[in-house]
Every structure is written in C-alpha cells, then in structure tokens.
Structure 1
Amino acid sequence: MAELTLEPTSQQGLAAVAALMRRAFPQAGKYTEAYLNWLYFQNPVGPALAFDVREGERVVSHGAGILQRLVLHGRPVLGALMLNTATDADRQGRGLFSQVVTAVIEEGRRRGVAALIGVANQNSVGPYVKRLGFHDVRGLDAFVSVAPERIDVSRALAHADLRRDWDDAALAWRMGNPEGRLKVVAVGADALVVEGASTAPLVAARAVIPRRGLSAPEAPRSRLRPAVSLALAPAGASRRGVSLTVPDRLRPSPLRLIYFNLEDPADRLDPDRILFSFLDFDAF
C-alpha cells in the first residue's frame, strides 16, 4: 500500500479527482475533467482552495472551497463555498475528511478568505459541525411553484447578514456550467429569475436574485412552468403565492446551510437573516 500524501489539487490531476467523485457519487453524471476544470480554475474570483489525499496515482479523499464574493454582516468579504468532499469507502475512518477540510481552512486564511459556507447533506453535516466547528445554520427551504416567488429586494438586502455579492463576470461563469447551463427567464425592476434543469422530469430549478450591480439581459418570453426552489430569504422579504413545500421524506437528502467564520470562529448567523439560492451552491 502506497503512502498517503496531502497535496493541492492541480489541473493535471483532475482526472483522478473526477474518478473519486464518480466512485463516491455514481448517480451523478457531472463529474468530468471539463466540469472540474471550469469549477476550480475558470472562476473569475480566483482558483479553488482544493486538496487531495493521494495514494500513489489514486485520489482517495478530496475537498474544495470555491471562491465567492459575499456580504457578511454588512461588509463585502471574500468567501468560499465548501463542496465535493468525498473519501473512498475503504479509506474512511482514518480522519481524511478532517485533514482535507482543515487544509482548505488553512489555505483560506492564507489567501484572505473571511468565511466558509456550504450545503451539507445528512451524512456530512455531523462531521462538519462536531469535528470542525462549523455552525449548522438551518435547513434550506424547498418548495415547488409555477410563478416565481416575489422577493422584496430592498428589505432582503437590508436584513441579510449573509448574501452573495454577484457581478456580471461571476454570474456569467455560474450560468456557463458545462454540465448544467442556466438561463435568465425573467427580468424585473430589481431582480432576475434564473432557471435550469433539476433532477425531476418536467420541473425546472429556479432562483430569484437581486439585480443590483448586474446588467439586465433580455429574457425570452417563456411560459410559466413548475419549478423547485432551494432557498432562504430574510424574514418578511419573500412571498411565494401558491406553492407546495417539499417534505423532508420526499427529498433525496435534506440540505442544511453550514458556516465557519475564519476571522471569528465563534461567530454565528441568524437563520432568519440569510439570502441564499441554488445559484449559490451546486444543487443540480
């Protein structure tokens, strides 16, 4: 058995990372070299904080933080989204998850990242919280509706302790995901409605984000259709109209927002003061 080594992820090593992700998530078809190269190395905010545990040429554990511009407690900061944490089944129980995430935390501090966020499933939320000190903020709301929810953008921006700080370059990059391209389907006075494919047939994935600071693309005339939203909005800032909440038992895995402030590890977020959508993570 070869020695285990912890190394930064390189573009040349993405094939081995993709192979691990396909072993860990065999139902997900998106884990290609092209997808990981887009995700890790084409982000206009900067290259990912990503690390591999290697056993010879094989990657047996991996995790990454994708850089994002955030507004945290009213202050623009550099943040990172934790994702793609995986360990081969025959290498679990050896602390590799903690090694990889700790490496991301340390590299984040070195590169001026103020906070890490993530969306954890039932299997990963425990290790993040109990071993590494992340804050389990709350579960994401999941609902299906035909008409988009209406966001009171002024209230949402004023009352959000955490939100994404979008610009044109970041949004264009996010919408250009080679494994799941998105499109703007509606442009309001102060918000954009973005849709893409979900895992359910005939149901889109939908996000409503503030238009502040963004160019207003022309949206094609599109017929309203059912769409699923995975989102959070500050209390009193969202009106959904007719919608159907998706019960936990019908979700593949209830998803929870997690948070770690690298500057002040004791910091906690108010779950009623978050503006978040599927555009801010990698749901589909």
Structure 2
Amino acid sequence: MSELVFRAAEPADLDRTVELMGLGFPVAHKFSRGFLQWQYYDNPAGPPLGCNIDDGARLVGHLMGIPLNVRRRGQPVTVTLIMNVATHPDFRGRGLFLELVRRVAEMSAARGHAGVVGVANAQTIRAYETRLSFQNVAGLEAHVEFLPQRTDMARALATADFAHRWTDDTLGWRLKNPANPLKIVAETADSLIVEGASSLPFVRARGAIPREGLTARGHGLAVGPGVVLGLTPAGTSRRRLALPIPERLRPSPLRMIWLNHDRPGDRLDPDRILFSFLDFDAF
C-alpha cells in the first residue's frame, strides 16, 4: 500500500471523484461529472476549496466546500459550506474523515472566510461536535404542506443570526442544478417560492427565499403537497395545512453545524436561523 497523500482538490480529479462518491453513496444517482462541475466550479460565489487523499493512483478520500455569502447577525460575510464528504470503503475507520474536515476548515480560515457551515447526519454529528468542535446548532425541521407556509421575510432577516444573501447570479446558478432543476413557482410580497423534485413520491421539495435585492419573479401558484426542510427564526412563519414528518420516518435526521473561525466559542442562536434545502442542496 502506498503512503497516503493529502492535497488540494483540483478540476482534473472530477472523474475519480464521481467514482469515489459512487462507492460511498451507491444509491445516490446525482453524482456525475456535470453535477460536480456545476456544484463546485460554476458557483458564482467563488472557487471551491477542498481536500483529496490519494493512495497511489486511487482517490480514497474527498471533501469539498464551496463559498456561501451570508448575513451573520446582520453583517455580510462569506463562509464555507461543506458539500460532499466520502472515504473509500477500504479506508474507513482510520480517521480520514476527521482529517479531511480539519484541513478544509484550515483552508477556509486561510482564505478569510468567517466560518464553516454544513449539515450532518446521524452518523457524523457526534464527530463534528465532540472531535471537531463544531456547534450542533439545531435539527432541521421537516414537514409536508398543502399550502405554502407564510413567512415574514423582513422580520426573519432582521432577527436572523444566519441567513443566505441571495443574488440574481447565485439564484440563477442554484436553479440550474443538472441533477434536479428547480423552478420559481410563485411569489409573495417579500418571498420567492422555489420547487424541485424531492425524495418522496408525488411530493415536491419546496423552499422560500427573500425577494430582497432580486429581480427574478415567480408567476403562478404553489399547489399540491410540498416537503419543507430547514429552519426559520422563531415567530416569523406560520404553517398552513401542514403535517410534521416524525424523525423516525426521515431517511436520516439532519442537523445544522457551525464553526466560527474568528471566535471558536461563538454560538448561533438556533431560534434565529433562516436556512432551507436551497442553501445546502438536500435533494
């Protein structure tokens, strides 16, 4: 066995990354060269930052983060959003996941980003929290609705500790996901309602984003069942004709995680988060 080599991820690694993601997530069919090119390198917020691990000619570990422009307590900053993590089945149990996250966090701080954000599942949340010092912010709420929930976006943005700063460019890029194209299906006075395919049959993935600063518009109505996954600041949204999805029925209960580079002990208020599936590409 060759000595493992840790190095920065590069565009030339895409084909081997697709192969590794297929080994790590055999039932996920979205990972293709075109999907990763879009997700990593077409993002108008900036170039990605990631770490790969080589064992000779084999790619055996991968973690990629992409820039995400957000408001942190009202101040505009850029953070690193963890997108994809995978280790080769032959190399699991050797701490490679922890080392990948540590190295990408170091890259993020060196680039001047304010912190690292991501979504952890039941298998990784303990490692993020106890071994890597991430904040376990909150479990993402999930419900199926038959009418879109009403969110006071102005109030949500004013009170949020953390919220995505959308632009026409980043929204246009997000809508062009080659594995799951999205569509603006409706609008309210202060929100755009966006939908795409979900993992549930006959149910659309649905999310609302602030219209503030955007020229894009929606024409029509959001009709039929939609699954909503994310967080809204307390007291800023009201559900209508909605049913919560119990955690036992979710494929993998998801939790938002956060690491502040400037003040490691700083904590986000879980009741002041504006975060949806559109922010982390859940479907």
Which residue of the partner structure matches residue 187 of structure 2? 187
**Secondary structure of 2:169's partner?**
helix
- Is the CA contact 2:24–2:88 (under 8 Å) kept in the aligned structure 1? yes
Q: CA deviation at 1:213?
A: 0.7
Which residue of the partner structure matches residue 47 of structure 2? 47
- Is the CA contact 1:16–1:57 (under 8 Å) kept in the aligned structure 2? no
Matched, 1:65 2:55: no
Greater strand share, structure number = 2
Superposed, 1:210-221 pairs within 5 Å as 210-219=210-219, 221=220
Q: Equivalents in 1 of 2:66, 2:76: separation in Å?
A: 17
Q: Which amino acid aligns with 1:171?
A: L
Q: How many residues align?
A: 283
**Secondary structure of 1:82's partner?**
strand
**Secondary structure of 1:30's partner?**
coil
Q: CA deviation at 1:15?
A: 0.8
Q: CA deviation at 1:9?
A: 1.1
- Is the CA contact 1:187–1:216 (under 8 Å) kept in the aligned structure 2? no
Q: Which amino acid aligns with 1:96?
A: L
Q: Equivalents in 1 of 2:15, 2:126: separation in Å?
A: 29
1:214-259, Cα deviation, whole Å (9 max, x unpaired)? 113242x356110100011111000011100000111000000000
Which residue of the partner structure matches residue 254 of structure 2? 255
Q: Equivalents in 2 of 1:121, 1:110: separation in Å?
A: 27
Which residue of the partner structure matches residue 283 of structure 1? 282
Q: Which amino acid aligns with 2:239?
A: R
**Secondary structure of 1:31's partner?**
coil
Q: Equivalents in 2 of 1:77, 1:277: separation in Å?
A: 18
- Is the CA contact 2:193–2:218 (under 8 Å) kept in the aligned structure 1? no
Q: Equivalents in 1 of 2:99, 2:198: separation in Å?
A: 32
Which residue of the partner structure matches residue 177 of structure 1? 177
Q: CA deviation at 1:158?
A: 1.1
Q: Equivalents in 2 of 1:185, 1:111: separation in Å?
A: 36
Q: Which amino acid aligns with 2:203?
A: V
- Is the CA contact 1:79–1:115 (under 8 Å) kept in the aligned structure 2? yes
Which residue of the partner structure matches residue 152 of structure 1? 152
Gap runs ≥5 in structure 2: none
Superposed, 1:1-284 pairs within 5 Å as 1-219=1-219, 221-222=220-221, 224-284=223-283
After the TM superposition, list the runs of 4 or more consecutive aligned residues in structure 1 that deviate by more than 6 angstroms.
none
So what's the TM-score if we normalise by structure 1?
0.97
Q: CA deviation at 1:57?
A: 2.0
Of all paired residues, the percent bearing the same amino acid is 48
Gap runs ≥5 in structure 1: none
Q: CA deviation at 1:66?
A: 1.3
CA RMSD of aligned residues (A): 1.0
1:139-167, Cα deviation, whole Å (9 max, x unpaired)? 00000001111101121011100000100
Q: Which amino acid aligns with 1:49?
A: L
Q: Equivalents in 1 of 2:8, 2:57: separation in Å?
A: 14
Q: CA deviation at 1:93?
A: 2.0
